[in-house]
Amino acid sequence: MAGTLLAVDIGNAVVQVGLARDGRLLARWELASTPAATEDEALLALDGFLRAAREGLAAPLGDARPDEVARAAAERPADAALASVVPALTGSWAGAARRLTGQRPLVVGPGVKTGLRMGYKDPGEVGADRIADLVAARETYGAPLIVVDLGVATTVEVIDEEGAFAGGLIMPGLGLGARALAAEAARLPEVEVRAPEALVGRSTAEAMRAGIVWGETARLDGLAALIAESLGCEPALVLSGKDAGLIAGLLRHEAAVDETLALRGLMRLHALNRKPR
């Protein structure tokens, strides 16, 4: 389908919006995921992003030029592709995209072609964000591969040597762990999730930060080693999500950080499921 594409990844903490044209992701924006956002609010957000891009206020991605971004944003979007893990927001953003493009957007879910062989017992249980990550990761990095998304939840996905989705792990994310400690332990404060000052903290806040961040790092290093052992090969490792940059620099395993994984996955899913016009 010719024209510009809006890719929208709706997460529990952040909504990512990407502007793409001719198979290239030109620009991206982020906003806080508002639990009760209405269709009108979602439409205003999308329209505001496009207006900012037309006025040269969007940072181009990769080799895209500011004038390319501005020209693409000046067009009426031809279509949209959405991945959502927040059911209460799916309708609002899908409705906003439909009003903006004039047609029903592609919403990732059961029945959508992915090009992936699934080792999951029930593929319908796999979250839309996980599908988008996997599609882009396999296309970009090949196989075997471990894909980690560090958001509200930390998800670990495994692509085997044949390029099939072998399954994954789901666990609490860093921010969720920090909030849970503060909520359930009366004398522990809520701390900001950032690089710890040292391995061993010398105050309660330092000790919590070290435990949360180094604990997640050790967990992912250990899981990567266990997964490699189970596969009988050494998979590449790619991290995405809001805490990816923090953790990647602390891991013993070499890891790529890819902030646009889900948006590029949505572009690929759109290409697989929409016939050119």
Catalytic residue IDs? 129
Measured from the Cβ of residue 203, the count of other Cβ atoms closer than 10 Å reads 9
What gap in Å lies between CA 41 and CA 8, rounded to an integer?
14
Q: Pick from 218, 277, 222: which is nearest to 250 by CA? A: 218
**d(Cα 193, Cα 11) in Å, to the nearest integer?**
19
